[in-house]
Each structure stands twice: as structure tokens, then as C-alpha cells.
């Protein structure tokens, strides 16, 4: 059995930190939007004398072992379904930059659960797949559901919002990745934490169809911005650009910007209404 899945990147149109939780995570409120920049998963499952999971792929920046979220997602799928005696091979074609605030790893993991479920004749319901996604990471439920979503809790509580069409371009300093741990730690150290409630304002703007640009915002950008000249350069060139997730990718709601030396630039992208899906 074999299946190919496409897993889209996401951007945070807003990202606001509500508070720190007892488990060490943060409660957030965020409007997340999937875009048509995709990784691709080729998933094979064959009967075997013993159960095994093997990963491979095109990127040298990710581990192809049990540390990868894809491996953990496959493992948790088999545990939940009690299916055994399968040799599972997953090949990851990476096009979404790593450690970029675009949820590439989360999308891959959500796509693994979705793809295995398709291979095994939809053995799990949509609700059961969402329950599997929750413990694996904050963005998996968003990536599984797709479109435009209001995400709360640590990101796993989702509410569908109306889909709005838009062009988008991405800008990322080459060689600069910012971990979520770094960004959240620096946010915790801010003396004056912002409180603009942009998520509510943007949600209202989406519902009534007004311009989104004035409400795009990210608390974590405030936390890391002054530490990286590369981020300041992006903001100087494109004042309306906003950081996605914990960075270091910025997005701007336009379809075309020129190349920038020492920056990865991806133009001509669009908002999409779906999440992980058949390729």
C-alpha cells in the first residue's frame, strides 16, 4: 500500500500570548492560515513479520529517526489503532524551511496521521485523528483541519473562520532559524508585555470582509526583533511584513516582491482553504 500526501505551511496572521501554563507551555490566541507551500510525504505500509517505521527524505536539516514528529505520529497512530505487523516507510520531500515559524514539522506529522488513516480505510474518525494530534504539538490540529482558523489553548483548540482569498510572499534570512523555546523565553523576559487584542480585531475583520493588513501582529516578533539585524532589514524593506510563529520567516500580503541577497524569498503564494490532503 502506498499514498502521497501534501502538507501545507501555515502563517500566523496574529499571535498573542495570553499566559504561561503550569505545564510550561503558553496559552495563546492566534489566527492561523494555511498557504500553498507544500511538503510531500510518500507513505508505504506493507505486511511484515514485525512492526517497523523507517524515515528518509530530501532535507539534511531534520532527523530521520524517533526524534522526528513524523515518526512519533506514525507510532501513535499504530498504538491507537492496534494495527501491528507492518513495515512503514515514509519519505519526506521538504520544501517548507525548517525552524522558520511555518509549522512544516507539524504539518508533516498531521499528514502522517491523515495518510496512514487513508491507507487503512479511514479506521479513525476525524475527531479521533484530532485527538491524536493534540499531544504531539501545538500546530498539528490547525494543519489537519486547514483553511483559516482561530487557535487558542496552546494552539490545539481550533475554530473555523471564513476563508478569505489573498496573495502572500515569504522572506526568511538564509541560515537563521529561531526556535520556539528561544522566542517564548525572550517574550517571558519582556518588562512591558503588549496587549493589543489584535486577534479579536482581525477575527472581526475577516467576518465582515475588511482589509486585514492593519491587524496583522505577532507578540513573539516583539520579543526577538531587536536581537537580529536581519529581521530589522526585512521590516525596513517591507514595513507591512509580519513575522510568522517564532520566526524567522516574515510574510507580506502581496504576490510579488523582488529577490533580496542573503534572504530566501518565495513569492506568488496563496491562502488555501484546506489542510493536509491527498497529493
Which residues are the active-site residues?
10, 139
DSSP state of 138: S
CA terminus-to-terminus distance, the chain:
15
Phi, psi of 33 (to 5 degrees): -135, 130
- Extended beta strands in 70-165, E state: 86-93, 148-152, 157-160
Total residue length of the chain: 279
Q: Which residues contact 94 (CB under 8 A, 6 or more apart)?
A: 39, 57, 58, 59, 61, 62, 104
Which element (helix H / strand E) includes 81?
helix 69-81
45 sits in which H/E element: strand 26-47
What residues does 14 pair with on adjacent strands? Answer: 31, 217
Buried b (16+ CB within 10 A) or exposed e, 127-154: eebbebbeebbbbbbbbbbbbbbbbbbb
Return the percent helix, strand and coil in the chain, to nearest 5: 30, 30, 35
Amino acid at each position: 500500500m502506498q499514498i502521497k500526501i501534501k502538507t501545507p505551511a501555515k502563517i500566523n496572521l496574529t499571535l498573542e500570548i495570553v499566559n504561561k501554563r503550569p505545564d510550561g507551555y503558553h496559552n495563546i490566541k492566534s489566527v492561523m492560515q494555511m498557504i500553498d507551500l507544500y511538503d510531500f510525504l510518500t507513505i508505504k505500509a506493507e505486511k511484515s513479520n514485525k512492526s517497523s517505521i523507517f524515515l528518509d527524505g530530501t532535507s539534511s536539516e531534520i532527523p530521520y529517526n524517533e526524534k522526528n514528529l513524523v515518526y512519533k505520529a506514525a507510532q501513535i497512530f499504530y498504538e491507537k489503532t492496534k494495527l501491528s505487523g507492518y513495515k512503514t516507510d515514509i519519505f519526506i520531500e521538504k520544501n517548507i524551511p525548517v525552524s522558520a515559524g511555518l509549522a512544516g514539522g507539524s504539518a508533516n506529522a498531521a499528514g502522517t496521521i491523515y495518510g496512514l488513516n487513508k491507507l487503512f480505510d479511514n479506521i479513525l474518525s476525524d475527531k479521533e485523528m484530532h485527538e491524536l494530534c493534540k499531544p504531539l504539538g501545538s500546530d498539528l490540529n490547525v494543519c489537519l483541519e486547514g483553511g483559516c482558523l482561530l487557535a487558542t489553548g496552546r494552539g490545539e483548540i481550533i475554530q473555523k473562520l471564513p476563508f478569505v482569498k489573498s496573495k502572500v510572499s515569504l522572506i526568511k534570512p538564509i541560515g537563521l532559524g529561531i526556535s520556539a523555546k528561544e522566542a517564548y523565553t525572550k517574550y517571558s523576559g519582556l518588562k512591558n508585555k503588549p496587549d493589543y487584542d489584535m486577534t479579536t480585531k482581525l477575527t472581526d475583520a475577516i467576518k465582515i470582509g475588511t482589509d486585514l493588513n492593519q491587524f496583522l501582529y505577532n507578540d513573539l516578533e516583539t520579543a526577538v526583533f531587536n536581537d537580529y539585524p536581519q529581521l530589522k532589514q526585512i521590516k525596513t524593506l517591507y514595513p507591512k511584513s509580519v513575522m510568522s510563529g517564532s520566526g524567522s520567516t516574515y510574510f507580506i500580503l502581496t504576490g510579488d516582491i523582488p529577490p533580496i541577497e542573503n534572504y530566501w524569498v518565495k513569492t506568488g503564494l496563496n491562502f488555501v482553504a484546506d489542510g493536509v490532503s491527498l497529493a
